[in-house]
Structure 1
Amino acid sequence: MAASIRTERDHVGLSLSELAKRAGIAKSTLSQLESGTGNPSVETLWALSVALDVPFSRLVDPPRPRVTVLRLGEGAAVPSEHADYTATLLASCPPHARRDLYVLQVEPGALKASDSHAPGTTEHAVIASGRALIGPTDEPLELGPGDYISYPGDAPHICQALEPGTVIVLAMEHT
């Protein structure tokens, strides 16, 4: 929350004193919140969201980076007690979103360039086998088996197999 509050305050160009005044809270309280040492109440956060003219959720839900990559073995793995089974959450679905799931079989050759999809589209991909160059057109990444990436699908993006038999599991999220 600390980074979100500071980012929104900077975005609207308010000083610490001015935002505290508009929200009806002490400047020291706001300073503690922005430094990550405060523990705000829901009322304080609502007052700040009103003073900043942003949705409450923007202050409590951390900003998501435009591109996220998890390499195989990264992420919080949760093992089963009863089977040789481990689940790793790669990305949670935001409220009011829809996801379509695809399996892509891609062979080396010309890259697949995709134009922007509908506004609010995010693509999530996991490399099941092979290697691929995938992501935003201006900054694609090389990924291998088990690697995960998410990137804006509402901006131009590419996918190119770097090895024969490349298989990608792709989820398109629409908000």
Structure 2
Amino acid sequence: MSLSEGSVRSMLATNLRRARSERGLSLSELSRRSKIGKATLSQLESGTGNPTIETVFSLSRVLEVPISDLLDARPAGELTVVRAADVEVLSGEGVDLRPLQRIESGDAVVELFDQQVRAGRRQESLGHVGTEHTIVQAGRLGVRVEGHEVELGPGDYVRFDASRPHSYLALDGDVRSVLLLQYRAEQRLHLSDPALGGGPCGSER
């Protein structure tokens, strides 16, 4: 997802309105379920908000859609090159994510991210749709899933049900890793359907 394809902010605004419409949720109800303020959601839908990892993953969990249905990553062509400088970073309390690609094959959808966990910081998640896969490239990463903790080094891999509460912690300096989120195709919304409309920015159903 490059800057030329539109910013994370503008794509989230469009897709959030459509996803909310598809689920038949008002801003007030989405706010209640996601624990995100109604004013913040209104700003996100109007394209003036500042989305964080925590916000996007919370919306993914409540709306039960893959992250890429909110960020609108593009499917791969015959040759796809994604330059680091062309990708916007989605930041959270302890993690910086760069969405690189969405891969669709049969009944599987995989989202590919470059992930950096900042030194000494923990990134918490209440859970979201999909199965999470992480491959550590550099550094030591602590992973906690519902109270179970493992430590990973370069080349190590972990897989878990992403709907469970989980967290990442950089144990010794920054950690560079590859994050893959795997979904079933039926978990995706058909956000390209013009019939979903979306209505005016910030409006409720």
Larger Rg: 1
Q: Give the TM-score band, short-chain normalised.
A: 0.3 to 0.5
The two structures have a TM-score, normalised by structure 1, of 0.43
The two structures have a TM-score, normalised by structure 2, of 0.37
